[in-house]
Structure formats: structure tokens, C-alpha cells
Structure 1
Amino acid sequence: MRRLVLLAGVSSLSLLAGGCMVGPNYVRPAVEQPTGFKSQPGDEAGAPIPSDWWRLYAEPELERLITSAQVSNQTLRQAVARVDEARALARVAGSYLYPTVSLDPSYSRTRYSGTRASTISGKQVARGVDVSNWTIPLDLSYEIDVWGRVRRSLEAARATAAATADDVGVVRLTVETDVAQYYYTIRALDAQIQILKDTVTAYEEQVRLLSVQLRTGLVSGIVVSQAQAQLKATQAQLSNTARARADTEHALAVLCGRAAPSFTVASNPLQEASPPVVPAGLPAQLLTRRPDVAEAEKNVAAANAQIGVATAEFYPRFMLTASAGFNSLNADMLFSWQSRVAQILPSISIPIFQGGRLGANL
């Protein structure tokens, strides 16, 4: 009868645990949409910009560099590794929904003294005794999740894993954007270098002609000195621009996961061109496609679930520990029916005083 009462109590707690979770459920915040805009909206919504947005520029070299960065960038690899870690932690959190079962066989052999006192008569025993003890227990421990603490922990871990996955999108977009910016910076510097080289050539010719005129007395030495100063200033500017291009190329090599000495970008001066047209009339809902916005929302959901975890700490925690197996002094009798042992130990942990820790966590 007592076993039936115990089983009924455990079953009732298990059923109760399936439907009760303290703490608020996450609800996406409502964002107020403006009723009007300062500028005239487009006639019709354009198509969303594709994820491979760099193809809009029709630059094969840019596509090659971004593809290389997507494969070899170390920061992006670290972000992917963090996703694997977060998903593993979510699986760990989910494992606490199930009982922990372990098999812990043991053997001990004890030698009792021959001069010890008898536990029955109190007199000295006649001789020493060797006692062997064989045990094969199957142990089980399980937290009955009455208040949803474990389920809220799993909810938070899953939201964190989803946010970490969105962070990969943030890192990827940042890397792709940086590659494009460095690439076009190099091309702009190539155009400046080309202009400066042409200017240096023109100034050199000017200095040559003025030197001839100086010898014939057509110009003064001051005019020649001014022309030479212009030439040297332009040559210095050309040297600085070439150095800036080399530094930018090295930074681009790091983004692409390449060694700087073996990485080069061919000179290709940027010609005057208009950037791709961004489709007009894109709906505000497309903001949620931004990986940083999606990541922020997942982090809010994870923090919301942690409120439930912290709230559940104020309530009693129900634990169920059980053990069943065989125990015998003789190995040949270990698996006999008479050697069976079993134990069940329900327990409740009730927080009384935590020094304000529970309230601070909440």
C-alpha cells in the first residue's frame, strides 16, 4: 500500500511538471509604424537585395576575394565554432529533462582484527575475519521539473544558440563589407597613383623646360626652384599613396585569411561609375532580416527565459533518487534473487535564506 501511495505521489508530480512553468512567455514587442514619411515613397516595393549583394557590382575580382574570405577568414571561423559550442550547450540543457542513470559496480574486501571486541557480547573475538562485499547497483537520479526551471533553461539555451547562429551572419556580413570597402579603397588609390604618376611626369618635363630657359636667361632661378618644389611634393604624395595602398592590401590579406607576402591585388584604377541602385519602397519588416536585429531579438528571448529560471529558484525543488541491483558477500550468490536490493529516496529542497541572492538573480 505504501508503495502505491509513493508511486501515485511521484506520478502526480510528474504530470504536474509537464504543464507548469513560472516566468513570462516571450512575446515579440510591437513596433509602432509611422503613419507618414518626410520623403515621397516609391510607387511600388522593389525586390529585396539578395544575400550575395556584391554581385550587383559585377566585379569578378571582388567576388573572388569575398569567396576567399568566406572560406578562410579566422574571425568567421571562430563565429562558426561558437555556434557549435552554443548548440552543444543547448543539448546539455535538454539532457536535464531526463533521468540520469548509471551503473556503478564495486567490490571491497575488509580484514577485521582478531583482537576486536564482539558487537554482541563485548568480549574479545577468537580470530580475525575477512569479509568480501560485491555490489552491482543501477542508480537513478531525476529532478521533477514542477516549476519549469529545467525547461526554461532549455528555452534560454536554444535562444542563445539561435542568437549565436545569427551572430555568424553579422560576422559574415561585416567581413564581406570590409572586403568590399578595402577592395574599392585599393582601386581608388590606384586611380590616385595613376594621376600622381602623370602629374610627376608633367612636373619633370616642366622642370626640364624651365632649366633650359634658365640657361638662356628667359626665367629666373626662383621659378625653377618653385617647379622643383612642386615636383618633390608630388613625388612625396605619390610615395605616401603607394604606402597607403600597400597597407590596405595587407589588411585585405588578413580578411581573406592569406599571408600578406603572397597576397597581391592587381592594379585596376577605379573609373567614374554610379553605385548599384537600391530598390525603393522596401517594407520596414525587412529589418528583421538583418542578422544583427535577429540576433538581438534572440538574446531578448534568452533573457526572458532566464527570468523563468530565476523565478523557479524561489520554489521548492523536487528530486527523486533510486537505486536497484544486487549485493552479496559471495560472488557466486551475487545474481541470485535473494541478493537483490532496492532503494527509493524522494527529496525536497526548500529555499529559506539565501542572503538576497535569489532576488538579485531575478
Structure 2
Amino acid sequence: MSTKKRLGNWLIIAGLAVTIAGCKDLKLVTKTENTYTPANYQGSQQDTLNSAKTHWNEFFKDPYLISLVDTALKNNQELNIMMQEITIAKAEVRAKKGEFLPSANLQVGAGVDKVGRYTRNGALEANNQIAPGKEFPEPMSDMIVGVNASWEIDIWRKLRNSRDAAANRYLASVEGKNFMVTRLVSEIANSYYELVALDNKLEILNQTIEIQSNALQIVKMQKVAGMVSELAVKKFEAEVLKNQSHMYYIRQSIIEAENKINFLVGRFPQPVQRNSKNFTDLVPDTIYSGIPSQLLQNRPDIRKAELELVATKFDLKAARADFYPSLRLTAGAGFNAFNVQYFIKAPQSLIYNIAGDLVAPLINRNAIKAKYFSANAKQIQAAYNYEKTILNGYIEVTNTLSMISNLKKSYDLKTQQVQALTQSITISTNLFSNARADYMEVLMTQRDAVESKFELIEMKQQQLSSWISMYQALGGGWK
């Protein structure tokens, strides 16, 4: 073996040794995700029954609400945009799969070449012949038909790790869509009951205006009889006008609530069908929280965070493989001639090649190191994000459980308050008619009654909202 060949071999071996040894100097900060969850939710008993497993069209009973959710899942623009994100992620997986498979290309080409007489090639053509009695044609055409193939051997699983990272990101995008579905179902349900609550407020206000208008007539009659002054008349009249003005505010709120729902279901403004009767009598079904560990399977945002963490682990492995040598095989075969008739003459017109390249980074590997450390930081970041998402899910369920319990107790007391104030309206009106109560007592009683009824409706809306939020917090609504 010549000295030149020996030197070349030693350089190759030294380069590979430096590359592999250099990886040992890379110190990483490691982070193992903590998936611990308590045995049960704070303030609740351990029970494996979980309402998240209930399909949304069984969880909700109102047929108008079910119809709205069903339409939204088909037409909501934001959800359809997310579906395209899933398609993009799926295409990325397909692209990554193709990178570690052999590729082949068909080559067909033709051209014409005229060289100068007093050039090296021109002089050679002039002094030689293709065959006895046949000179080189001028200009000379060139035609080629062949197949070229290349294949990077995935020795260190770099390409397959990149494929697996893309596959997990695709699955994460699916979970992202599922999480969007849970939020969409919850938002439509909350908006629907907000609209129903506004209808009930408007009805209460109309009833109150009617009562106050009747009281105003009584006050006017008493003024004529000299029992009260003009001040009492104006006070009652102002109260009626105030409530009539507030009525238009509620009507505007109803229009905005309807159009919010219309936007979510992907349609232009139109009346929203709903059932507004007996709103305050609605009692949400019992909701079962299950155990905290079930959140890891039921909540799409937790599943998404987990898959993104797995993807970053594959990214880190792929980034580490950049320090190692890569082996690429190339080959090609075909026919090449300056005339079509010579294509069939083999092996004279047959061409082929085969080669293998072993390439390893040797000097100035800062870019590779930066990519490696970046992948490591992203993996640690994803681990913390996964833990944060689990913690957030547990706290959301705990808070909502407490809210459901406290709202029920508060609603029972508020109902008693409304009943007492409703009775006091009749009592104060009768006393005032018999001159045994001041007109301000009547006004204040009516005002307190209206406010308490509004508060009762708002509390019922909060009850339903917490019931819906609990369903979402448990991971229901996307299956």
C-alpha cells in the first residue's frame, strides 16, 4: 500500500474517532417527567365512575342544544382549520418515512455540443474516427436514458427517530383537535344557557313593569285624593321608566348572545331556537368525577402534552445522531450515445456507476452542538409542560367540584329569599293602598325583589356553567 493511501486511511479513522469521542464531552441536563396524581380529589370520595365517558349527546338533554352542538362540529371554521393542521402533520409523517427509504429517479436527456477546432477536444476529434471511415459528427449530439438511485443507510436511527417524532406530533395534533372539540361543546352549552337566562330576565322585567305600572296608577289616584304628593308619583314613574330602559339593554344582550352562538356554529345571524321555560327549575344531572389518574387518559390536552414530550425525546436522539458518520449509497445505470442507433449496442453504450460515501463532521461542529442542546432544552421544556398540564387538570376539577357544592347551597338560600321578597311585594302594596306603608317601602321592596330574581337566574346559570365546566375538566365532550 502506498504512503498516500495509508495517510488517507489514517485520516478517515482519526476523523471517525474524533467524531465519536466528541459526543462523550456533551453533558446534558436530564429531566424525568413526574406523572404522580393524588388518589382522589380534595373533598371527594374515591369513585371510578366518570362522567367524561358519557357522549355529549347523552350528557345534554335539551334537543335544541344537541342540534346546535351537532351543527357546530360540522361547520365551525376554527375546528375545520384545525383539521387541516392534522392533514399537514400527517403529510409530514409521510415525508419523514420517505427519507430513510431508497429513492430512484429516471433520467432522459438530449443535447448538442459544438467544440472549437483548435481546442483539446476539437483536435482529438479531428485526429480520430468513431470507426474506420466514420468521423466525429459536427455538431455532436448527446443522448442519455438511465436510472439513478440513492439511499442513506440509517445506521444510527437518525431518520427513523425523526419519523417517530413526526408521528407523535401528528397524534398530538389529533389530541389538539379533540381538546378544541371539548372547548367548543362547552362554549356552545354555556352560551345557550346564557341566552335562556337572558330570556328569563326579560320575562321577569316585563312582569315587574306590569306590577309597577299598576302601582303607578294607584299612586296617581291617591294623589288626586290628596293622600300622597307629586313626589310619590314621580318616584313610581321613574322606576317604571328605568325598568323599561333596562329592557332594551337585555334585548340587545339577547341578540349578541344569539350571534355568538351563530358564529360558533358557522352560520350568519338568525334566531336561535331554544327552550326558555322553567329555567330556574332545571336541575343538572349528577356528575361523577372518577379518580385523578383517569385524567391522563380522558383529557385531550394532557394526552397532547404527553405525545409532544415523546416527540421531543425522539428529536433529541435524532440530534445526537448528527455527530456520527452518515453512509450514503448511490448507483446509476443507463445508455449514453450520440446517435439513437447506437443505443442498442451494448456494452459499448452502456453506462453505470456505484459509490458509497461515508461523511462525518470533524471541525466546527458548533451548529450540530447548538441543535443538540436546543433539542435537549425542548425535551425538558416539554416535560415541565406535561407536569403543568396534569396539575392544571387536577386543580380545575377540584375547584369545579367545590363550586358545584357551594352553588347548590347558595341557590337553595337564594330561592327562599326570592320567595320572601315576592310575598313582600303583595304585602307592601296592600299596606300602601290602606295608607299603612310609605311609598318608598313599596319601591324598595319591588326593587329588591327584581334584583333577587335576577340574582337567582344568574346563580342558576352559574350552576349549569359549573356543571358544563366539570364535564370539560374531566375530559368529556370529544369522544
TM range (shorter): 0.7 to 0.9
Pick one of 119, 141, 147 that aligns with 1:138. Answer: 147
Any conservation in 1 of the 2:112–2:141 contact (CA below 8 Å)? yes
Structure 2 residue 352 is the aligned partner of structure 1 residue 349: no
Partners of 2:220 and 2:233 within 8 A in 1? yes
> Paired residues, what number?
333
Alignment of 1:1-362 (within 5 A): 29=33, 31-34=35-38, 39=43, 41-42=45-46, 44-114=47-117, 116=119, 118-120=122-124, 129-260=138-269, 262-266=270-274, 268-269=276-277, 270-279=279-288, 281-282=290-291, 284-338=293-347, 339-354=349-364, 356-362=366-372
Deviation at 1:178, TM superposition (A): 0.5
For 1:288, the aligned partner's letter is Q
Distance 1:86 1:36 in 2: 36
**In structure 1, distance between residues paired with 2:108 and 2:171:** 41
1:217-253 CA-to-partner distances (Å, cap 9, x unmatched) read: 2211111111112112212222212211211111100
CA contact (8 A) 1:113 1:128 kept: no
SS at match of 1:360: helix
After superposition, the Cα gap between the structure-2 partners of 1:130 and 1:195, relative to the gap in structure 1 and judged at 3 Å, is: same
SS in 2 for 1:244: helix
CA distance in structure 2 between the aligned counterparts of 1:140 and 1:357, rounded to whole angstroms? 29
TM-score in terms of structure 2 length: 0.65
Distance in 1 (alpha carbons) for counterparts of 2:38 and 2:201 = 44
CA distance in 1, matches of 2:32, 2:263: 39
- The structure richer in helix per residue is 2
Distance 1:296 1:225 in 2: 63
SS of the residue aligned with 1:274? coil
Post-superposition offset of 1:83: 0.9
Structure 1 match to 2:18: none
Which amino acid is 1:343 matched to? N
> d(CA) in 1 for partners of 2:58 and 2:136?
92
Structure 1 residues 185 and 36: CA distance shift in structure 2, 3 A: closer
Conservation of the 8 A alpha-carbon contact between 1:115 and 1:128 = no
| Whole-angstrom distance in 2 between the partners of 1:82 and 1:104 | 35
What amino acid is aligned across from residue 244 of structure 1 in structure 2? S
Q: For residues 38 and 137 of structure 1, do their structure 2 counterparts lie closer, same or farther at Cα, with a shift above 3 Å needed?
A: closer
Q: Do the aligned residues in 2 keep the contact of 1:321 with 1:346 (CA within 8 Å)? A: yes
Counterpart CA distance in 1 for 2:208 and 2:186 is: 33
C-alpha contact (below 8 Å) 1:48/1:282 kept by paired residues: no
Q: Which letter does structure 2 place at the counterpart of 1:34?
A: P
What is the deviation of 1:33?
Answer: 4.3
> Deviation string for 1:178-236 (max 9, x for gaps)?
00000011111111111111111111222222222223322111111111121122122
One-letter identity of the residue aligned with 2:186: T
Amino acid at match of 1:212: M
Residue aligning to 1:8: none
Offset at 1:30? 5.5
**CA gap 1:177/1:280 in 2 versus in 1, 3 angstroms:** closer
CA offset digits 1:259-287 (Å, max 9, x no partner): 01x34334624232221111254452343
User: For residues 88-112 of structure 1, what are the alpha-carbon distances to aligned partners after superposition, in whole Å with 9 as ceiling and x for unaligned?
Assistant: 1101100112111000110111223
- The CA distance in 1 between the partners of 2:153 and 2:300, in whole Å, is 37
Aligned-residue identity in percent: 22
Query: 1:86·1:161 contact (CA, 8 Å) conserved in 2?
Result: yes
Rounded to whole Å, the distance in 1 between the matches of 2:225 and 2:297 is 75
Aligned equivalent of 1:19: none
Give distance in 2, aligned partners of 1:347 and 1:106: 26
Provide the rounded CA distance (Å) in 2 between the counterparts of 1:96 and 1:36.
47
CA RMSD of aligned residues (A): 2.7
Q: Is the 8 A contact 2:106 2:147 kept in 1?
A: yes
Does the CA-based 8 Å contact 1:163-1:298 persist in structure 2? Answer: yes
Q: How big is the shift at 1:36?
A: 7.1
Instruction: Please tell me whether the aligned partners of residues 104 and 137 of structure 1 are also in contact (alpha carbons under 8 angstroms).
Output: yes
1:31 CA drift (Å): 2.6
What whole-Å deviation, never above 9, does each CA across 1:133-157 have from its counterpart, x for those lacking one? 1111201111111111100110001
Equivalent in the alignment of 1:18 = none
Shift of 1:163: 0.3
